[in-house]
Amino acid sequence: MAEQKRDYYEVLGVEKGADDAAIKKAYRVLAKKYHPDMNPGDAEAEKKFKEASEAYAILSDPEKRRQYDQFGHAAFDGGAGGGGFGGFDFNSADFSDIFGDIFGDFFGGGRSRRGNNGPMKGANIRTSVRITFEEAVFGVEKEIELTLKDECQTCHGNGAKPGTSPETCQKCGGKGQVVFTQQSFFGTVRNVQTCPDCNGTGKVIKEKCDDCHGSGYIASRKKIQVSIPAGIDNGQSVRIRDKGEPGVNGGPRGDLLVEVIVARHPVFQRQDYNIYSTVPVSFAVAALGGDVVVDTVDGKVLYEVKAGTQTDTKVRLRGKGVPSLRNKDMRGDHYVTLVVQTPEKLSNEAKDLLKQFDALTGDSLNAAKNVKDGKTEPAKEKKKKFWK
């Protein structure tokens, strides 16, 4: 008994109402995953590839898809669809386009079917700059030095020796791309790749410029001013237009991307647009209340601590955080954690006064002694008794 075929929509993993673009995208993913050239000797992958291609051949054709939606697999029992791949045209424009993209990925060819010898924007350049925490909060002007390429003044960017000109590439005829055919699992596949002789420019320089050695550009060290905006965070980048690599064939320059590296601060920590810090509070201020000095990015401020404040109490200083990148008038908040400090060294007089204070506020110093002399046995004594 012949194996029952799966639903074509299920094979491609799309809904029945999916449009042509979704069907093509789904098939492209499966074709790359299960292509025999990527899975040599894998019979299961070959089977899935055939199944996906059969489904795509039906669903990508409006008339065949209409028949399939109406009659299911029975619509092709006596036709090409029922015999597997025999009747499917893998040299059609649609299949050819997909397989060309796939083989382009496998063997280094580009996806584009258009010539690439037209004007193209230059590549972006990336660098980094280090700034302080405060500079990230309020913004700063920085000067960086890097190597940039400029048009050669001798050859005016064409790379040829004065008195000569670049010649049309004979291999690609000036198109910048060459077309070749390749034998695959399905037969002959047409593919396109960048011309190896002219590197896609469509021109070949016979006599190179002595100053730029045929590149058309001269590299030199330059100093660039970078405006770091207020509120920028660690890892974010500043884009400077037209300071990247020169364009190709008259195209515009790329951009310079400056990544900002913010140094750690000994007191402040940042999360989004808020700042966090910890402030020590003496026992006396925590108990009686009073002012403490809080360091902020705007300078020192006084905060009134309420009497009876406990350690790890958190307070918020509104508008003392980091400015928003989109609106400098909007700032985050500064969250302060108050930590009650215990004095490490006390004079004899201070100790006596503290004992008097303790006696008036619960006599905690004698709490353990009172338990020992009273009716309740201390927990430590119970433990010793248990082990005995």
Give 159-210 pLDDT, tens digit per residue: 898 988 888 888 888 888 888 776 666 566 677 788 888 877 788 888 899 9
Domains of the chain, CATH where assigned: 8-88 (1.10.287.110), 119-148+214-264 (2.60.260.20), 269-341 (2.60.260.20), 352-387 (no CATH)
Within the chain, where are the H helices?
Answer: 8-12, 20-34, 43-59, 62-71, 93-107, 133-138, 283-288, 348-360, 367-373, 379-387
pLDDT of residue 381: 46
225 contact partners, CB below 8 Å, separation of at least 6: 141, 142, 143
- Establish how many alpha carbons lie within 13 A of residue 4's alpha carbon, considering only the half-sphere containing its beta carbon: 3
The whole-number average pLDDT for the span 24-29 is: 88
Position with higher pLDDT, 320 vs 329: 320
The whole-number average pLDDT for the span 81-95 is: 46
Task: Render pLDDT for 263-278 as a digit per residue (tens, 0 to 9).
Answer: 999 999 999 999 999 9
Band (pLDDT 50/70/90 cuts) for residue 114 is: very low
CB of 331 closer than 8 Å to CB of 297:
no
Least confident of 14-18, 100-104, 182-186, 315-319: 100-104
Task: Name which of 246, 245, 22, 232 is nearest 131 in CA terms.
Answer: 232
The whole-number average pLDDT for the span 372-379 is: 55
Task: Render pLDDT for 40-54 as a digit per residue (tens, 0 to 9).
Answer: 778 888 888 889 888
Instruction: Report percent pLDDT > 90 for the chain.
Output: 37
For residues 274, 278, 282, 284, the Cα torsion angle rounded to the nearest 10 degrees is 30
pLDDT of residue 77: 65
314: pLDDT strictly greater than 70: yes
Band (pLDDT 50/70/90 cuts) for residue 95 is: low
Instruction: Report percent pLDDT > 70 for the chain.
Output: 81
297 by Cβ neighbours in 10 Å (0-12 / 13-18 / 19+) ranks as buried
Position with higher pLDDT, 319 vs 193: 319
90: pLDDT strictly greater than 60: no
The whole-number average pLDDT for the span 313-329 is: 93
pTM for the predicted model, two decimal places: 0.58
Q: How far is CA 115 from CA 26, 110, 179, 191, 214, in A?
A: 27, 11, 11, 13, 22
